[in-house]
Amino acid sequence: MYPDSDYDVIVVGGGPAGSTAGALLAAAGRKVLITDREKFPRFRVGESLMPATYWTLERLGVLDKMKCSNFPNKHSVQFFAKSGKAAAPYYFSRVDPHESSQTWQVDRLDFDHMLLRNAADKGADVFEEVRVHDVLFDGDRATGIRAEFKDGVKRDIAAKVIVDATGQSALIARKFKLRRTDPHLKHCAFFTRYKGARRDEGIDEGATLIMHTEAEKSWFWYIPQPDDVVSVGVVGSLDYLVKGRSNDPAVVFEEELALCKPLQERVEGAEIVHEIRVLKDFTYAATRIAGDGWVLAGDAFGFIDPIYSSGVFLALKGGELAADSILEGFEIDDFSAAQLGKHGPEFVEGVDALRKLVYAFYDPDFSIARFLKRFPEQQENLVHLLIGNVYRHPVDGLLRAMDEYRELPKYEPIVIDTSTG
Ligand SMILES: Cc1cc2nc3c(=O)[nH]c(=O)nc-3n(C[C@H](O)[C@H](O)[C@H](O)COP(=O)(O)OP(=O)(O)OC[C@H]3O[C@@H](n4cnc5c(N)ncnc54)[C@H](O)[C@@H]3O)c2cc1C
């Protein structure tokens, strides 16, 4: 079976960004096609949610599904110094006592699949194993897609708006060379899963742990998953983790593990249940968020480092805001870059706030403890940032204090040029 030849909106990519945009557009009565080249459930790294995902999940109508799921509850994030000493956990509900402060550590196979099914339930036509080779243009205006079905058949399908939610494939940003990597965050990650690793108890059982290695040249994430599994990964610069190191990812992973006592204690006797995978140079942003007839959402627009688990949050939020700009476009029959990218400035402001915290984490001279000693009134705002409250709570006071404390790297502000196609 093939989709129709004409849609209001085609969403390319059925990850969190695409499913969110697709579900909200279909629920509002638009004729929507979502295509993904993979068959779901499909693997993705990135299991820890920020609490602020709550609001988009609520709008999508999936909170009950999340509450009934077997995803571990996440109440906090806890950092471990290079000495192995644990800092006090940041409990989200202490600054934001609302049920949204408890979030989840999701198995992305199930989570992404649930979101895609939700989009289908809301009325979107969902086609898996359909690879989009190109976005079609009439002059500067996007007019459709060229898709290849799993039986090899190729078809052109038309739409008034194309949402590019292709994740790191970034179909449109690569086509137009809009993608810019961040020179300050040239990192890579080696990651796997353990079964039977030790967890803390009670409210801390589902916490995200961030553990520095001895020389502070890399750090590990420790993200509890369902069925006694835990996702573990190490992140460091490409120079440190790749140059002059073994070609065998398992060797590099073991060498880093040997530098991280608190992690060794947790995984001792546990079994590695996944091959060790590697991802490189994943931080980038496109220089524009929309053109005439097209808009980018999720990783297809940009991604910042995994340290604060902001990827899925920004994918959900980007999908939601893109859907709103598109729906307004349908109301006034305007599918220009300016209309489809109307949410861009607001969205990017939130991204940049999170980026600043990421820069602070990697700056060896930015000590959060000393910063909070000097600016104790910013403690709460810092937790708001860890929650992802960049669109609901003002964090500019915190950002100003961070600037005053120490000059952080400058990343040329993203130009949200939505004026032409
Ligand atoms: C090392 C690492 C650790 C991370 N950890 C976290 C974390 O703990 N928490 C967190 O929130 N985020 C994390 N992330 C980020 C998070 O995984 C992503 O931000 C998130 O998956 C983005 O969602 P998306 O919908 O934009 O893209 P994706 O989830 O990548 O979905 C894109 C979809 O597009 C499809 N697609 C691509 N090209 C085509 C094509 N040509 N035709 C059809 N379909 C196509 C793909 O098959 C895919 O299903 C991490 C990222 C990295 C690199």
Q: Report residues whose beta carbon is within 6 angstroms of any ligand 1 atom.
A: 12-18, 35-38, 42, 44-49, 131-132, 165-167, 169, 171, 189, 233, 279, 282, 298-300, 303, 306, 309, 311-313, 315
Compute the distance from residue 17 Cα to the ligand 1 centre, in Å.
Answer: 8
CA neighbor of 258 nearest in space, from 308, 307, 220: 220
The total domain count for the chain is 3
- Do residues 328 and 240 both lie within one domain? no
Q: What is the arithmetic mean of pLDDT over 22-32?
A: 98
User: In terms of Cα–Cα distance, which of 55, 379, 9 is closest to 165?
Assistant: 9
Three-state DSSP class for 210? strand
pLDDT tens column, 265-301: 999 999 999 999 999 999 999 999 999 999 999 999 9
Work out which ligand 1 atom sits closest to the CA atom of 300: 26
33 and 122, same domain (yes or no): yes
The alpha carbon of 402 and the centre of ligand 1 are apart by a number of angstroms equal to 30
Domain identity same for 44 and 164: yes
Tell me the pTM. Answer: 0.97
Distance from the alpha carbon of residue 45 to the mean position of ligand 1, in angstroms: 8
pLDDT tens-digit map of 128-167: 999 999 999 999 999 999 999 999 999 999 999 999 999 9
- Domain residues for the domain of 161 are 6-71+106-181+284-348
Other Cβ atoms within 10 Å of 420 Cβ, number: 11
Q: How many A from CA of 170 to the centre of ligand 1?
A: 10
Atom of ligand 1 nearest to the CA of 13: 34
The answer on 271 and 202 residing in a single domain is: yes
Looking at the structure, tell me whether residues 160 and 236 fall in a common domain: no
Closest residue CA from atom 21 of ligand 1: 312
Q: Kindly state whether residues 275 and 297 are assigned to the same domain.
A: no
Helix 344-362 to helix 379-387 angle (10° resolution) is 120
- Average pLDDT of the segment spanning 37-42: 98
Domain boundary among 280, 311, 330: 280
Do the domain assignments include residue 235?
A: yes
Q: Determine the pLDDT at residue 411.
A: 72
Q: What percent of the chain has pLDDT over 70?
A: 98
Q: What is the mean pLDDT of residues 332-344?
A: 97
Q: Which amino acid residue places its CA nearest to atom 27 of ligand 1?
A: 167
What pLDDT is attached to residue 415? 62
Q: Are residues 270 and 321 in the same domain?
A: no
The reply to whether 32 and 119 lie within a common domain is: yes
pLDDT of 413 higher than 80: no
> Do 257 and 296 fall within a single domain?
no
Q: Whose CA is nearest to atom 7 of ligand 1?
A: 46
pLDDT at 100 over 90: yes
Residue 421 predicted with pLDDT over 50: no
- Cα of 144 from ligand 1 centre, angstroms: 23
19 belongs to a structural domain: yes
We report the CATH number of the domain holding residue 19 as: 3.50.50.60
The CATH code of the domain that includes 266 is 3.30.9.100
CA 268 to ligand 1 center in whole angstroms: 30
Is 253 contained in some domain?
yes
d(CA 318, CA 302): 10
State the chain's mean pLDDT as an integer: 96
For the stretch 397-407, pLDDT in tens is: 999 999 999 99
Which residue in 229, 285, 194 sits closest to 105, CA to CA?
Answer: 229
Task: Please give the pLDDT value at position 414.
Answer: 64
Encoded amino acid at 395, one letter: V
Within this chain, do residues 114 and 176 fall inside the same structural domain, yes or no?
yes
Please compute the mean of the pLDDT values over residues 169-186 and round it to a whole number: 95
Is residue 319 domain-shared with residue 224, that is, in the same domain?
no
Same domain for 82 and 117: no
Whether 357 is in a domain gets the answer no
- In tens, the pLDDT along 219-270 reads 999 999 999 999 999 999 999 999 999 999 999 999 999 999 999 999 999 9
Alpha-carbon distance values, 83 to 216, 238, 260 (Å):
9, 23, 9
Dihedral sign computed on CA atoms, order 150, 152, 157, 163: positive
Locate the ligand 1 atom nearest the alpha carbon of residue 166 and give its number: 34
The rounded Å distance from CA 102 to ligand 1 centre is: 23
pLDDT tier at 90, thresholds 50, 70, 90? very high
User: Has residue 416 got a pLDDT over 70?
Assistant: no
CA distance 60 to 217: 40
Point out the domain boundary residue: 227, 251, 280.
280
Q: How confident is the model at residue 409 (pLDDT cuts 50, 70, 90)?
A: confident
Q: How far is CA 198 from CA 2, 22, 221, 263, 337, in A?
A: 48, 39, 14, 9, 50
Average pLDDT over residues 50-79: 98
Q: Average pLDDT of 351-372? A: 94
Let me know if residue 248 belongs to a domain.
yes
Residue 46: inside a domain, yes or no?
yes
The total number of residues written for the chain in this structure: 421
Q: Is residue 59 part of a domain?
A: yes
pLDDT score at 412 = 65
Burial per residue of 25-37, b for 16 or more beta-carbon CB atoms within 10 angstroms, e otherwise: bbbbebbbbbbbb
Domain endpoint, select from 250, 280, 310 = 280
Tell me: the pLDDT tens digits for 191-230? 999 999 999 999 999 999 999 999 999 999 999 999 999 9
